[in-house]
Chain A
């Protein structure tokens, strides 16, 4: 069974740029959630995708957007990067229909300078 994978591992961007992060869900999981984890904080929910539709969104501005593909992989796009966007971005996949037992990928460390 393949676990959740994310790419890239690390990324350095300049303020104002755009970034795309990628996630492949665990085998058999069709629900993908994205979280942002700032240093010393718990993960904060960005949004969730189920059957290629956004299935809930946290308190993040519209410049955070996403996609889910037919193979259940997902992308997180962030436009107009700000310094405060520097964080660990985590993708989690779960079994059909809800938030039960979410399994995280290794994360993407984004640094905005």
Chain B
């Protein structure tokens, strides 16, 4: 059973701080990793994808991947109240599995 684990939170950070969201996965053969943002009552929105070890930066977002530790993280710099949402980690294992396996999500609250 392929599993993706996230701390459900809530994670509260003050406005302007760095929010750090973490995710671990069980399938060592996993190939692709994604972070989705989901506002309450809305559908998930893809915000970052990462495929190789290291960091990937896009604006205020940085995704970090460590395949040896089976760990992926998302850093949000200069957090804004509009970043308050649930962040879902998703993993694609490849090898014909065709599906994304999601964690339960971490709820982030940015306090003004």
Query: Is the CB–CB distance between B105 and A42 below 8 Å?
Result: yes
- Who on chain B is nearest to A108 by CB? B43
A33 part of interface (Cβ distance < 8 Å): yes
Query: Is the CB–CB distance between B98 and A102 below 8 Å?
Result: no
- Who on chain B is nearest to A90 by CB? B43
Query: Is the CB–CB distance between B98 and A104 below 8 Å?
Result: no
Partner of B99, one of A45, A88, A106: A45
Query: Is the CB–CB distance between A56 and B96 below 8 Å?
Result: yes
In this complex, how many residues of chain B approach chain A with their Cβ under 8 Å: the count is 24
B111 part of interface (Cβ distance < 8 Å): no
Give bound CA distance, A36 to B102, whole Å.
11
- Quick check: which of B44-52, B55-63, B71-79 contacts chain A, the rest being far away? B44-52
Query: Is the CB–CB distance between A42 and B88 below 8 Å?
Result: yes
Query: Is the CB–CB distance between B92 and A99 below 8 Å?
Result: yes
Q: With A99-B32, A100-B92 given, is the CB distance from A56 to B98 under 8 Å?
A: yes
Query: Is the CB–CB distance between A102 and B46 below 8 Å?
Result: yes
Give bound CA distance, A48 to B101, whole Å.
13
Segment 70-113 of A: residues with Cβ below 8 Å from B: 88, 90, 92, 98-107
Give bound CA distance, A96 to B4, whole Å.
25
- Who on chain B is nearest to A59 by CB? B1
Partner of B100, one of A45, A55, A88, A106: A45
The residue in A43, A100, A107 that gathers the most chain B C-beta atoms within 10 A of its C-beta is A43
Give bound CA distance, A42 to B102, whole Å.
5
A40 part of interface (Cβ distance < 8 Å): yes
Q: A35-B102, A42-B102, A48-B99 are in contact. List 7 more A-B contacts (CB 8 A).
A: A35-B100, A43-B88, A90-B44, A92-B100, A102-B46, A104-B45, A107-B43
Cβ-closest 10 pairs across A and B? A42-B102, A56-B98, A45-B99, A104-B43, A107-B43, A99-B92, A48-B98, A42-B104, A43-B102, A104-B44
Interface residues in chain B, defined as those with a beta carbon under 8 Å from any beta carbon in chain A: 4, 32, 34, 36, 42-46, 49, 88, 90, 92, 94, 96-105
